[in-house]
Amino acid sequence: MWNKIRITGAGFLAYFVMSAIISPLGVVTGSIAARYGVSVTEATASFTWLTTGILVGTLLAIFIFDYFRLKSVILGGVVVICLSIYAIYAFSSFTVVVVSLGFIGTACGIELAAAAVAITELFEERLRASMLLLTDSFYSTAGVISTSLGGFLIAREFHWSSAYLPAFVTALMVGLLALTSRYPATIERAKDDTSKNENAEWPLSVHLVGAAMLIYLVGVTSINSWIPNYSQDRMGLDIATAGLLVSRLFFGMFIGQLITFFLVLRLPLRPLILVYAFMAMTMSGFLWATDAAAQLQLAMFVLGLLTGGLFKTVLTYGTTLVAHPSPKMVSYLIFCASFGTAIAPFVSAIIVDLLDMRAVLQFATLCYAVMLAMLLAAQSFQKQRIEPAVQ
C-alpha cells in the first residue's frame, strides 16, 4: 500500500516539476535579457530549447521503456534536471542556459511519460482517469507557486534561476520517493502491447484530436510567455504584479480541474469539451480587449477555470475513438501536445517581431477557435464512422 502511495506521489510531483520549469517563462525572460545582453524576444525564443527538449523526451518515451526499467528512467531524469538547473545558476553564459534548458526539457518529457506509465500500471480504468486529472492539479499548483515566488525573488534582485527553486527541490523529492519504491516491470509488458497493437488502424478523428491538442498548447503557452511582458508594456505593471497574472491563470486552472473532476462523472464528455472550448475561446479575447489591470487579472482567472480540465478531457476523448487504445496511440496524442508546446515560443516570438505583443494574444484566441473546429470535425467524422457500422 505504502509503495503504491510513494509511486503515485512521485508521479504527481513529476508534473509539478514540469510546470515549475515552464510556467515562470514570462517572469524570467526580462531578467535573462538584461543579464546576458540579449533582446526579450531572443530570451523568449531561447525557451524553444526547453520545449523542443520536451518534444524529444516524449518521442524517446515511446521506445525507452522497451529497454530500461521505469525506476532507472525516473532516477536518471531527476539527476539530469537537478544538474542542469545548477549549471544555469553556476555558469554566467547564455549558451549554457539554452543547452541546459534542452537537457531539462528532454528529462521532463521522459519523466511525464514515466509518471503516466506508472499510474496506468497501478490503477484500473475507473481510478485511472481520476488520477490523471489529479496530475493536472499538481501542474496548476506548481504554476501558482513558481510564478509567484519567481516574481517575488526576481523583484528583490535574486538570480533569475531562483524561479526554478521549487522545481529543483521537488525533483529531489521525486528522486527520493523513486529510490525507496518498487516499480512495476514494464519492459516485457511494453513489448507485448506493441505486438498486439502493431496492426491497429487509427481513424481520422484521432489525428484531428491530436491536431486540436497541438493548437491548444500553442495558444496556452503563448499566453503564458507574453502576458507578463504585455501587461508591463501596456499597463505599466511591475514584474511582481505581472508574474501574479500567470499565477492567477494557474490558480483558476486548479479550481477548474476540481470542478471538471466532478462534471466528467455526471455529464457526457463530447458536449462538455465543446462547451469548454467555446467558452475558453471567448474569454481569451478579453485578454487583449481590455486595458484595465483588474479586468485582466479577472480574465486570466476565469480563463484558467475554463481551461483547467480541457487538456486531459480532450486526451481522454481521443482514447475513446478506438475500442482498445494502445500505449503508442496515447503517446502519439501526448507527442502532438508536446509539439505544440515546443513551437509556441518560436512562433510567438516571430509574431512579436512582425507585429506586437497584443497580436500574440489575438493569435492565442485564434488557436482556441481552430481547436474548437478540430474537435467539431473529429466528432462529425466519428459519428459518420459509427453510423454505417450500426446500419
Nearest 10 degrees: Cα torsion 171, 173, 174, 177:
160
Residue 367: CATH number of its domain: 1.20.1250.20
Closest CA to 263 of 305, 211, 204, 319: 305
The confidence band for 269, taking pLDDT boundaries of 50, 70 and 90, is: confident
Of the candidate ranges 61-70, 197-206, 241-250, 307-316, the one whose mean pLDDT is the lowest: 197-206
Grid coordinates of 291: 486595458
Question: Do the Cβ atoms of 57 and 49 come closer than 8 Å?
Answer: no
Residues 6+ apart with CB under 8 A from 30: 40, 43, 228, 229, 232, 239
What are the pLDDT digits (tens) for 1-33?
Answer: 788 889 889 989 998 999 899 888 778 888 888
Average pLDDT over residues 182-202: 61
Q: In the chain, pLDDT over 90 holds for what percent of residues? A: 26
CA distances from 150 to 143, 169, 188 (A): 10, 14, 43
Q: DSSP assignment of 282-307, as one string? A: HHHHHHHH---HHHHHHHHHHHHHHH
What does pTM read for this prediction?
Answer: 0.73
Is 390's pLDDT higher than 60? no
Average pLDDT over residues 167-181: 93
Average pLDDT over residues 251-256: 86
Average pLDDT over residues 346-364: 90
Domains held by the chain: number: 1
The confidence band for 83, taking pLDDT boundaries of 50, 70 and 90, is: very high
Average pLDDT over residues 73-99: 92
What are the pLDDT digits (tens) for 284-334?
Answer: 998 898 888 888 889 999 999 888 778 878 887 887 787 766 667 777 888
Most confident of 148-152, 246-250, 367-371, 377-381: 367-371
In whole angstroms, how large is the CA radius of gyration of the chain?
20
Query: Residue 200's pLDDT is what?
Result: 55
Grid coordinates of 339: 509539439
Q: DSSP assignment of 196-212, as one string? A: HHTTPPPPHHHHHHHHH
The confidence band for 195, taking pLDDT boundaries of 50, 70 and 90, is: low
Is 79's pLDDT higher than 90? yes
Range of the domain at 232: 2-390
Residues 6+ apart with CB under 8 A from 240: 151, 152, 155
Query: Residue 140's pLDDT is what?
Result: 76
Q: What average pLDDT does the structure give for the chain?
A: 84
Query: Residue 218's pLDDT is what?
Result: 93
Grid coordinates of 387: 453510423
Query: Residue 389's pLDDT is what?
Result: 46
Residue 129: count of CB within 10 angstroms of its CB: 18
Question: Do the Cβ atoms of 326 and 200 come closer than 8 Å?
Answer: yes
Most confident of 133-142, 184-193, 251-260: 251-260
Residue at 53: amino acid letter: G
Region of 37 (left: φ > 0; alpha: ψ -120 to 50; beta: rest) is left
Query: Residue 293's pLDDT is what?
Result: 82
